[in-house]
Structure 1
Amino acid sequence: MKYIALSITLFLLGCTNLTDLNTPTSGGTKNLAVAILSPSFGSTNELPFTLGGIKGSDIMSLIVFGGSTPKIAALDGNSWSVEFIESEVVPGQNVFSVYGKDITGKTVTTVYVTLTIGDYADTLAPIVTVTSPSEGQTISSSNLTITGTASDPQPNSTGVQAVYIALNCLACFKQASGTTNWSLAVRLSNEGSPQGLYYYAVDNYGNVSHTNSYTFQFDTGGTSDNPPTVSISAPSGGQSFTALPVAMTGTASDDNSVVSVEVSINGGAYKKVSGTLSWSTNLYLATGNYTAIVRAKDSIGQYSPQKSVTFSVYTNTGTGHPYYNGINPGSPTLKQDLNDLIDGHSSQSYDSLWTHFQSTDKKVNGKVWDMYSDIPGGTPPYEYTFVSGQCGSYSGEGSCYNREHSWPKSWFNDLTPMYSDLFHLYPTDGYVNGQRGNYAFGEVNSASWTSQNGSKKGVCTWPGYPGINPVFEPIDEYKGDFARTYFYMCIRYYGEDSGWSSSDGTYHATLLSWMEAMLRAWHTQDPVSQKEIDRNEAVYLIQGNRNPFIDHPEWVNLIADF
């Protein structure tokens, strides 16, 4: 028999009873509270146990994430309960999230429960190793990324919490990025002297590994080690544009060679531009104010000091489509108005998507535009030819491409018309699509699997993620594409999702709060690209509807919740 010790944290906006969350609305006061009454705080209970409590009268359903699978709570009047058995709770810490939903399916109240198996004790220290640089190795560049792995040998371990690295200084430890697979970027100095590397790890139970150490060498061999420089020729600071594209140009130089120049818009992901010593890129942006940051990279991996320029765009080019005549962005019913507009599209057969992809997802070179394998500004590991590259069976990456439901079809139970809605279907590598499966999009520090273009699968690190399943993280350059795809799905099927299932990131066609926050961040960091503009137009010609958040990315901020 196992016992559990429970510590419970409630986030109820300071309420002390169910009437404290009465919310005035145009239709009267709503009671949207949720509380846990059992088990009581600090109590010890044997498995199986029942998590239960009370809810407000306007809470229509509760979903409990935690254990091995999400569960829907049983309701009895204003009481609710969920039973967990031993096979559903692993030793160590478990976080249970109770989501209260109103009649629209929107999450309005959240209660968190932290549970720890009482007879569980982690006594083994974690194990940490360095994979690069190796002991005695000579490093020729001052920019070095130290990498390695860490693990917790304890059976049913709570995992490694952090890895710490110090260079030539036992009082200078810094936390590495990641745990199972970790890394830390450093800059070397004192060329010609041995470099002392020190490292240790801490697990989630507080056990600390032995501090290990060894030395390696730093010698550039006389090669100049100055970082490159970069400059911006256009646009000028404070310039305003009334037509697209915004042309950015500049120059870069280095003692050895410049291998790439990259631009970031408003703090988003860096994207490679055309050229190196003389570089240029065309920007397609919505109306707004922008800061562009440019950096250059040399052949030994050094980045230049950043250069930036601010400018503004005031244009409706690409967004003033007559399709939106009658839409008032300031309307309090904008969400419903957009649903009414894009609803009832011309549904296509699933088989026809193979043909439609040839107009919606074709690169300039005529190849398939696969966001799971493409490397914008670089050379992809493989490319597919339309028709001849279709799956078929696959044994690994580069075998064939198939039809990816970016909003997994199991989330809407294979229903139509969303099953073949081109706005969320993309041609992608079959093997990578299989690795993604029906896992939610998320962000990953320590990847359990990485595709050849850098897409990752692993434990989600975004705050508030309620599941135990891994998540899939696309590369930065396409995060905005998928965010706007999900915003489209939420609006297109708003109020039409009664037959849908839920997931770690969604409740029917509604985003859970953690996923909505993440996708809004992706939308900001990766602005609308010309690829999306062209694809939106191509799908419009096929289905007769558009994605409003590609034409009007600023409308995302006008929707209170997706």
Structure 2
Amino acid sequence: MLKYFLSLVTLLSVQYSIGQVVINELDADTPSTDTMEIIELKSTTPNFSLNGYVLVLFNGSTSGGDSSYFALDLDGFTTDVNGILLIGSNEVAPVPEFILFDNTIQNGTDAVAIYLGNDTDFPDGTLATTTNLIDALVYDTNDPDDTVLQGLLDVTMQINEGQNGNQSTESIQRRNDGTYEVKAPTPGANNDGSGVQFNGIAFSTTADEFNEGDSIDITFTTQTNVTSELNFDFTLANSTFNTTDYTGSTSVTIPTGQNSAIRTIQVTDDMNDEGDEIMKITFGAIPSGYNRLNDNKEIRIIDNDFTVAPWGTPLSPTFGNVTNTVPAGYYDSLDGLADAALVQAVQDIIADPVTVRAQTYADVIDILKEADQSPLNSNQVWLLYTEQQRRKIDFQSSGGSSVGLWNREHTYPRSRGGFNDIEADDIADGRDIFFPTRADSLRHANSDAHGLRATDGPENSTRGNKDYGEYSGPTGTQGSWQGDVARCIFFLTIRYNGLEVVNGDPANNTVGQLGDLATLLTWHRNDPPDDYEMNRNNVVYTWQFNRNPFIDQPDLAEYIWGNQVGNTWMNTLSIEESEFSNIEVFPNPVREKLFIKGLESRSVLNLYSVEGRRVYSTAFESETEIALNTLRSGVYILKITAQGKNFVRRLVIE
């Protein structure tokens, strides 16, 4: 009898424990950009451990299928003295115990639920269920009722966050009797205003960006004057920013009867180009009775020791300053070929499964920081389409607003190419860890740096998956990117089986086809490869072990798609040969006259098209000027021979 009684007590205790966690408040749509979303849980007893519980979000839309899209394992979390656990976006005050990415919570018709279990019990796409269900809230923002979702969760009512017409400024809150009301949010506090009241503490700076060598005043402020001396610490370290990058105390004391204190941090000017960094102000342990109104504030520290490259931007291009690092004989197998045989030979080089490497989509971030580095500032990237610089640290690392940030642009849009990433692509594992790849590895087009460029976030969205020609860049820009894009597309369509570049705009955005070929050929001819693009080709080669042949050998495009189709390709001229140190050839690009200085003996000048055909020849003595206005615009190879030595340079005629 005693054993039975003890078992009954144990069972009742377990059931009571299971039933004492509920969804106390939900704000799915605050504000319209969803940067202040919250989910608040409440236990009937304070300081209650949530080990063994999991929070699950369900998508009630047609595409969501009343299935899970997010699961948070609550092991390790404990409610506070008021029985509350706050989960929310980074802008929420007080600071949530778990930070959600902006725009995580669907606006409705959807649901949030608490279960006994683990996050692994609810992989994305798990149908809503009552098995092990503790509490659930089905909600919307002026949407029709989802009776199916209600039935799956055994919920009889769907609560509308927008029922008062203020869905972006109000939240759904549980009353003490278990019903719900919609009113102004009360994150981190009892909905009826009862319970322990915390003294909130926040910090601020005069700016969000400082230069090396600056002093930064950090002001700490409590909502009300402290009744006894308040002591706490904070940290500034973040990634590469550490204690060598600043001096100053990170301990704070707010005296009794006051509500603020200031700490001054001196940023070190170390004369080293470490790149722009982000300092993060983070509270240490906060004494009982206080809560954080903000935290983890990021401050940009701008490095003034950046370097400038000896070549120009795409807006002010230079030619011949960057050495082509193509290996000797890299393109020799193309000689004597035409049409399909030439195409196949190009693919055999750039998709060679023995040598070519595929990196992860996460690795591409590091590749672009190196390959798309701005010639004007080594701590910035040069953006495709918008023709501007942006700091490398301003990469868009999550969803939400992309204004002021840069991200990875697929020049051949993913939806048009039919390629996507896998879970392993989310790991940046460095240059020396890679996937084997071949011409049929279409998935690897998703992370091929020859086809990806650093791009302004909003402009990337504007470009969408349009064909080129249909999309011709932002109004007012100079189109300095157009030839670069053409050569990206040419590369991808040869590198990967299943991709084509075609004339016109393919109907219904046909997967595997992208237009417009005629537009891209014109762009390729009018905007030849410059030093910026050659440097980019060199950098990507160090990661992928393949090159873009349409940068190294621009006329290849004519033999595959243009005005030389059917003719035999010959590449007999190396553009790397140079045995003179004092010769000057200018200007480059040239319009009418080319000037040559630094030679004092009889010399011979030969001018070749890029595929090796001689189109001009002349002999001269010492310094001279040569009229080239009879030649068509394009890229040529200039070769000067004197005293048995050769000087070879790429020459652009405008």
Normalising TM by the smaller chain, what interval?
0.3 to 0.5
> Normalising by structure 2, what TM-score?
0.30
> Normalising by structure 1, what TM-score?
0.35
Name the structure where strand makes up a greater proportion of residues.
1
Larger radius of gyration: 2
